[in-house]
Amino acid sequence: MSTIQPIAGELEPHPDVALVEQARGGDVSAYDTLVRKYDRQIFRIAQHITQNREDAEDVMQDAFLKAYQKLDQFQGNSKFYTWLVRIAVNESLMRLRKRRTGKMVSIDEDIETEEGSVPRDLADWAPDPEQNYGQAELNEILRKTIQGLPQGFRIVFVLRDVEGLSTEETAETLGLSIPAVKSRLLRARLQLRERLSRYFHRKKGAEK
């Protein structure tokens, strides 16, 4: 049985610290390195939250520009990446609010579900179930499935499981308590698992 190792926060000084220092001193190429290092992640996070390609492009630009302007405020007691993610999450939520004027958008919405209930009608999955789908089809399934999660669950799952932030970093980034992050993560994982089961379950009569 494979074990998924947690991605723990490093204890040694992070290599980004030197780049941030150089960028603060006016070295734009140092900032260029930081942008290239994290642009894909920031774009992904923005896509997951806004669920809109144009918004994600705008968020990515705005987040990196804002971070550059605010470099002096970066304390260094959190990782640069976590700090950047927080800016990108806030930009994404702001963008959503603009789009859905009048509708409240927050990471607290839609979280009224049964706490950690035991899954029902549990069917095992086929071995390597993703092999049964083409790449484009699989991506569509994965996108559709995660888009169906309540926003507050989706953000926690993306930060914690896809982007590899620790529970503490996720809590800090979203302004949530650690128990709130843990409870959302469990429910997000279980809901995704249940939804993916529709596509990945072992066919009846198939060999074990």
Q: How far is the CB of 119 from another protein (least distance, A)?
A: 6
Q: What are phi and psi of 149, to 5 degrees?
A: -75, 150
Q: In angstroms, what is the minimal distance from the CB of 102 to another protein?
A: 27
Q: Fill in the DSSP letter of residue 4.
A: -
Are the C-beta atoms of residues 184 and 26 closer than 8 Å to each other?
no
Choice between 9 and 129, CB closer to another protein: 129
Residue with Cβ nearer another protein (60 or 89): 60
Task: Report the C-alpha gap between 61 and 54 in whole angstroms.
Answer: 11
For residue 69, what are the CA distances in angstroms to 38, 50, 62, 141, 200?
17, 23, 10, 38, 46
Q: CB-wise, 90 or 164, nearer to another protein?
A: 164
In the complex, the residues that contact another protein under the rule CB under 8 A are 1-6, 28, 31-32, 35-36, 39-40, 43-44, 47-48, 56-57, 60-61, 64-65, 68-69, 116, 118-119, 122-125, 129-130, 138-139, 142-143, 146, 157, 161-162, 182, 185-186, 189-190, 192-193, 196-197, 200
3-class state of residue 201 by DSSP: strand
> Considering beta carbons, is residue 102 or 173 the nearer one to another protein?
173
**Least Cβ distance, residue 132 to another protein (angstroms):** 13
Q: In angstroms, what is the minimal distance from the CB of 203 to another protein?
A: 15
Q: Which residues are bridge partners to 201 per DSSP?
A: 125
Between 13 and 188, whose beta carbon lies closer to another protein? 188
SS3 143: helix
In this structure, what are the phi and psi dihedrals at residue 95, rounded to the nearest 5 degrees? -60, -40
Smallest distance, Å, CB 31 to another protein? 6
Query: Whole-number minimum distance, CB 109 to another protein, in Å?
Result: 22
Given a contact cutoff of 8 angstroms between Cβ atoms, the answer to whether 195 and 145 are in contact is yes
* All residues at 6 or more sequence positions from 44 whose CB lies less than 8 Å from its CB, including other chains: 158, 162, 163
Task: Tell me whether residue 20 or residue 77 sits nearer to another protein (CB atom).
Answer: 20
Count of beta carbons in the 10 Å neighbourhood of residue 57: 14
